[in-house]
Structure 1
Amino acid sequence: MKVIMVRGPATVRAEGACSLLGMDISGKTVQVRAGRALPFEPAHGCILHVQGGETWDADPASAGTTMWTRLAERILGMAGRRLVVMLVGGTDTGKSTLSTYLANVAIGRDIFPCIIDGDIGQGDLAPPAAIGAALVCQQVADLRDVPAGYYEFVGSVTPSGSERLVAGRMRSIFQRTRKISSMHIINTDGYVADGGATYKRMLARALRPDVIVCIGRDGLASALARGPWVLLRARSSGQAAKTRSDRVGRRMDQFTRHVGEGSATVQQDRIRLVYRERPTTLLRAASLFAPSSMEGMFVGLGRRGTVTGFGVIESIGDEMRIRTGVRDFDTVYLSNIALRGGMEERLS
């Protein structure tokens, strides 16, 4: 099977039989986002018409889906009952790509999975600093095309130092979505060094998956070898490593998409402030963040204990003005991230 990688931004039209991550795209046009690279697998005689981006031939041993076909068959063979699959691996090993492929194969068999995206630094279903989940009912080329129906807010873009908080939020979103599908695919972040393996075992204990798939060779398999789950290994998809510029662009795109347009003004005494799961006050928050630094802070917005959207604090006084597309909220979840001048800043 031939594999042609296309890095976006690009438009690809398949003239002839072609598949993409388990989805038949014969005669169809696919958009590849900036900072994203997708593996097209054309049949003999198929012509790919590519506009924009970058294109190259890839080795099927390290790109495309042939290397994961048996893995997918084994996992889907367990799908006669409730099934939870957790994917772990280092940065740029192909966790999101494999998540998409498994979802597409499942949908091809009339199984509509719930995907939980726990990558709080570079996720597809939620902005950075948050966890997202979605029921996937149609095959997709990019998980960013799937609207998330569930969110949890962490407030940091790295799990290091927030391991228990992330594990708790992951368990919460799993419990909230447990009844919407018989199959869950749980994607995790690329934190594997300096305590990352211990953290992944903490996640596994919190989520109790039926299957854990270790992607690549990073020592996670030995840390996860013992447990009430089936441990499987998968080859890393090493053809599409992101540059630093790719990462920055994709993160800012996610922030912008989820903040939306519009603004809301709320009285200080009518909203609840929360930081790292603990209720707080503006006075206490000021001891962590100078009031001036809170202007531009990326925040989660919620109602009745559920995160419903996101925003950016524009000004703070007797009233708090927030740039957001959310109209109705009673809680503001603070973070250690500010967005200013099209750039991301860490506040603590």
Structure 2
Amino acid sequence: MYYISSFVLMVMIMVSVGFFTLLERKIMGFMHIRKGPNKVGYLGLLQPFSDGMKLFLKEHFFPKNSNFFIYYICPVLGLVQSLFIWLLFPFYFNCVNFDYGFLFFLCVSSLGIYSLIICGWSSNSIYSVLGCLRSVSQAISYEVSLSLILLGFFLLCDSYNFISFNFMQNINWFIFFSLPIFFCWFSCSLAETNRAPFDFSEGESELVSGFNVEYGSGGFALLFISEYASIIFMSFMSCLVFFGGNFFSFFFFLSIIFLCFLFVWVRCSLPRYRYDKLMYLAWKCYLPSSLNYIFFYFIKVDILLSFFFVKTLNIYSFFYFQSKCFL
């Protein structure tokens, strides 16, 4: 039954990626004052299926000077990595409960860099190599801040389990007292998933399409699915950490849809950053902010512990002197 649950999860992720692309094209059409997809099916609802059929049924070509086997298998590895991280999502039935889910998240998310490196290197193209170098340096830089921000909330929960966020936020959501950190987290999520305005690995005006420039048809579709599955997962993580963490409420899934909408909204509204400003933002803005948040947490814990220690010491000394006077 566990394999059936995992299979259902993968199918639902694939379907959600398809309809997320439809949502993105509809929102971008509305914001650009033009029509989105509306021809295939009623209101364009069958457009994701037609796009998937078009991509997977097209002729697949291989660059002559590429490393054939690595070039062919790399998109599959990227898709497996993006689906593997979804094991953190809990089920009603056959739930995989990770006591060290935070460490699992860090390990699996860091593996996504290797698929970018291998895609750019195996294509044997100058543009793909430049795109993968940009993407790797960007992902490594922002993964540090992303991990430190997340570490502060796990220390606040005193657990590495993601389900503990549900128990800690029954009264008050974390976003109410950490709103600036939420904006830092959201910006790091945009940079981690290579979305605008941080899409330097796919700068159309400079690198054509970045690390995936030599991929077409099925290979491009697999890379496309892995990228959008990562976007949906980062939206899920944001709702889990900041918006209560109740996995099975209707509001939780509405929050995920709203954050996916924010990803598209930022893409439609903001121009692309300069690359040096991107690195400046990572190392001189987000990293100090996340470290200060962790220091603030530790200072608060030390104050509370000292307060309870003094109170406990006073109580014990009071009973000790009372007993001595009684004797």
Identify, as 1 or 2, the structure richer in strand: 1
TM bin, normalised by shorter chain, reads under 0.3
Identify, as 1 or 2, the structure richer in helix: 2
Structure with higher Rg: it is 2
Under a length normalisation based on structure 2, what TM-score does the superposition of the two structures give?
0.25
Under a length normalisation based on structure 1, what TM-score does the superposition of the two structures give?
0.24
